[in-house]
Structure 1
Amino acid sequence: MPKNEPGLTPKMGFVVPATPALSPADEAVLTALYLPLIGPLAYSLAAALRSLQTPTTELSNRRSHADLLGILNVDLPTVLAARQKLEATGLLRSYYQQDDLGDSYTYDLQRPLPATQFFADDLLSVLLLDTVGESRYQQLAEQFTPTALSLDNATDVSANLLDVFHIDSQKVTHVPTEIQTVRAELATSAAPATSMPDLTDEAFDWQVLGQILKQNYVDLKQVAGARQLIMTESRVYGISEIEMAKLISEVASLTTGQFDESQLKLLIARRYERPTGNTAEQLEARATAASSAATSTTKLSTAEQQLVSYAKQTAPYEFLDALKKEKHGFVTSGENRLVHDLVNRGVLPNAVINMVIYYLLQNRELAALNKNLLETVANDWQQHDIMTPEAALAYLRERQQPKPTKKRSTRARNGRTPRKEIVPKWAQKQANGATKAGSNQITEAQRKQLAERLAKLDSNSEKGD
C-alpha cells in the first residue's frame, strides 16, 4: 500500500468509471492467462467492479466499500489483497482523493493485454511460467498462437472500400469538423497503455556479463535486445552475472551465437525452481522448539488435548479424510491438491496444517476447503509464527475474545451462539487409543489403515486430474 494512502475502511466510497465491454478475445485472455496469476477472488473483484460502473465520474455517485464486501462476501483485507493483484498485473488503476464527502477511490478498470503482448512481456510471462509450470505454459502459448493460412496458390479477390461505397472526395481531403472534434476527444480520454516497471538495475554488472559472453562467442547485439528479460530473470531468481552468462551460453548456438529467449526462460525455470518454504527437518525443529517453550504455559482442556494429540500423529491427507467422513462427506480432488500444495510449500508443520483444516471445516463449518480461505489462514498463521497445534488453539482463543471497550451480545452477528470447541469422535477415539497404549506412536493397524487411505487418495487424485 502506498505511504500516502490511508487505511481502507468499509465506509470509504468509490466510483468505477464506465469502460468499453470486454471482447470475447479479452475474456479468453483474462480467463486463461490472468486468472492463474490473480486467483479467483481478484477475478471476481474485477467482475464486481465492472458491474458497478457508472456513466459519470462524479464522486457524488459513489458507493461504499461495504457494498463491495457484501457482493463478494469476504472481509476488507481480502478485498484489498485482491485489489492489489489486479493493480500489479495492470488490470486496475486505483486513485485516492479527499473531498467534502470524505475519502474516496476511483477504480479505473484496464483491458487485459492481447495474448501476443502478454507473452512478449517478460514480467508477466515469467510469472505465468512460475505459476502454471512448463507444460501448461506451452499449452497456453499454443492456444493463443494464430494458425497461419496457406495462401501460396490463392488470389486476393476482396472488394475495395471505394468500389462498394461512394465517399465525397472533398470530405476526405478536408476532414469535417465533427470528425476532428471526436478524434481529439478520443485521443484525450484514451487510457494510457499499461506499462510494467522499469527494471534498470545499476547493481547488475553488464560489462562482466558481456565479457564472459564475448569469450563464449555469444551474439552481444541479441543480449542487448534481451536486456529486460535478463534483468527480470536475474531479479526473480537472484541470478548473478556469472551464472547468467553460463545459462545464456548453454542455450546459444555454437555456429551463430544466437539464442532462443523462450528456451532461456525454460532453462532458468528448471534450474532455479525455488522451494517456497522450509524443509521438513527445519519445520520439525522449529515445531519442537516452540512446543517445548509452550509446554509450561499452555493449558488445554481434555477435548483440546485429544485434538492436539491426533493432529500431531496424523498426516494432513488422513486428517482431512477422517474429518470429512465425520461430516458424512468426501474429499474432493481439488481439496487433495490444495493440501498437497500447502504441504509442499513448507511454511507450516503438518500438525498445524491439520489445525488449519480443522478450523475451516469444523469451526467455520465449510462443506469443502476453499483455496482463498486456506491460503489466507495459513498465511496469517505463518506471519504469527504458529508452529504447534497448542499455539494455534491459543491464537484462535485470543482472537475470539471480545474487546473490553465494546459490549457484545453472547450471540454472534449472524444470530448464532458462539461455537464451543468439540473434538470429533474420530479424534477422540484415536487420542484415547494413544493414551491407553501409553504412547503417541501410531499402531501397526493404524499405520496400515493410513497407507490404504493414502493409496486410495492418490488413486482418486489421479482420476480427478
Structure 2
Amino acid sequence: MKDNWKEVHPKSIFQAALSHPLSNQEQAILTFLYQPIIGAEAFSLYLTLLSEVEETGVSESLFHADLVTMMDMSIKQIQAARKKLEGIGLLGTFVKNDSELGMHFLYRLNHPETAERFFKDEVLSLTLLNSVGQRKLDKLFERFKPKFVNLTGYEEISAGFKDVYLFKEEQMISQSKQLMQMEQSFNDPRPAQKPSAVNESFDWTYFVQGIEKLGIKLPDNSAGFKEEVFIFHNLFGITELDMIDFCSKSFDYYTSKIDVKDFERAVYRTYDPDKKQKSSEFQKNDSVELSAEDQQTYRYNSLKMNGFSTQDIQMIMDSEKNFPLNYLEALKNERGGYTTPQERSLVKYLVSKSGLPNSVINVLINYVYNIQKQPTLKADYVNRIANEWAQSGIFSPEKAIDHVRELAKKGKEQKQTRQRYGQNNRPIRQETLPDWVDNPVEEQKLSKEEQARLDKEIQDFLSKGGGN
C-alpha cells in the first residue's frame, strides 16, 4: 500500500487527525527546531491540517482539491511536503479503499519531540545542524535547554504528598481495573515512527552475528547504539567488517558488552584523527648556548628589531607562555565573564585537530574575543579562521598578528569606500580597533650585519655577568 500515494488526485478524500492539542511549548519546538529542517511548505501543510482538526480529534472529510485551494499549492507540491513530514515523524499517512468513495486517506498528525528528546536524538540534532549551521544551533540550544536553579546551600523543606493529601492505598486494589483502563487509554496502539538513520546498505544482522562470534554483546541501549552505527556508516562509509573490528577493541572485559564511548573514540581516532601541532616558528640564537631567560631577551630584541611595538611583544610572549584554555580563562576573567563548556570543548578541539601551535591559537582567541568583540567563541566561526590560518602557513604569533593587521587594513579600506558612497552621502561610523591592529608598524627584516650586531650584544651581555 505504500505506493498508493501516487494515486492521490484532487477528488481523493482525506481526513486529518490529532490525538490531543499541541501545547505552547510544542508549537515553539515545531517552529524553531522542526521548521528549518522540513521547510516552509511542509510546515505550512502541518499547520493547515492542524487547523482542520475538530474537538473530536478528527477533521471533516475533505477533498484534496480543498487542500490545493487553501494552500495555493499543486498536488505534487503537497505530496512532496507530506513526505518531508512523514520522514521526520510529524505525520503518519494511512489509506483504505472504500468501495463507494475510492481511496480514503487519513493524515495523523504526530506531536513533535520534547526539546530534551530532540537534542538527545543524534539524527535530529545532526539534521538540524546541517540545516542551520553551528552558530544557529548553539542559539537554539541555549533557547530550549533547561534553566536549572543552583540550590547549593539550600535545604529542601517541601511537604510530602501524604503530609497534605488523603490517600488510601487499599483503593489501588479495588480500583485497579479502572486505573489500568485509564493508563492504557494513553498508549497509542500504533505509535509514530521515530526518524532513523538506518540504511539498507548496511547489513545489521551480519554485523550482530559477527560480534556475537567474538563473544561480544550489544550495549544495554542497543537501539541507540544501532542508530550510532548507522550514522557512522553514513558519515564515513564504514563497512560491517570494519565496524566489527572497532567493537573488538571497545568492549568491557567483565560484561563483554560494547563500551559506546570507547567505540566512538576508536572510530574518531581512525576517521578524524588528531593532528600533531606544528612547532611555533620563531627566531632563536643557536650559535651560542643561552639560558631560557637569555633566549627570551634575544627574542624580545629580535621582535623589536623587526618593527613590533612593546604592546605587540608583550602579547606575543603572553601567547607563548600560556596554554590556550588558561589564556581564554584569563581574557574572560579580565572582563568579568566566564568560559562556557562549549568554549572549552572548542579550544580542546583546536589543539588536537588544527595543527596550529598554542601561541597561534591564543592570538586567534584574542582576535575573536577582543578585536571582533565576540562575547563567546562560536565553533563555526572559529574553525573557519583556524582552517584559513593553517592553510596559509601561519605558525607563529607574529605571523598571526601580521595577518590580522592585513585583515584590519582591508576592512578599513572597505569602510572608507562605503563612506564615500554611503546612502544620502552621510558618513558611516567606523569602529575603532586596538592599537596593535589599527596602527601597524612596517616590518623591518634584519640584515646579516644587524643580526651579527644583535648577537654581539647578547655575548657582551653574557660576558659582563648578565646571565647570573
The TM-score, its normalising length taken from structure 2, stands at 0.46
Q: Which has the larger radius of gyration?
A: 2
Q: TM-score, normalised by structure 1?
A: 0.46
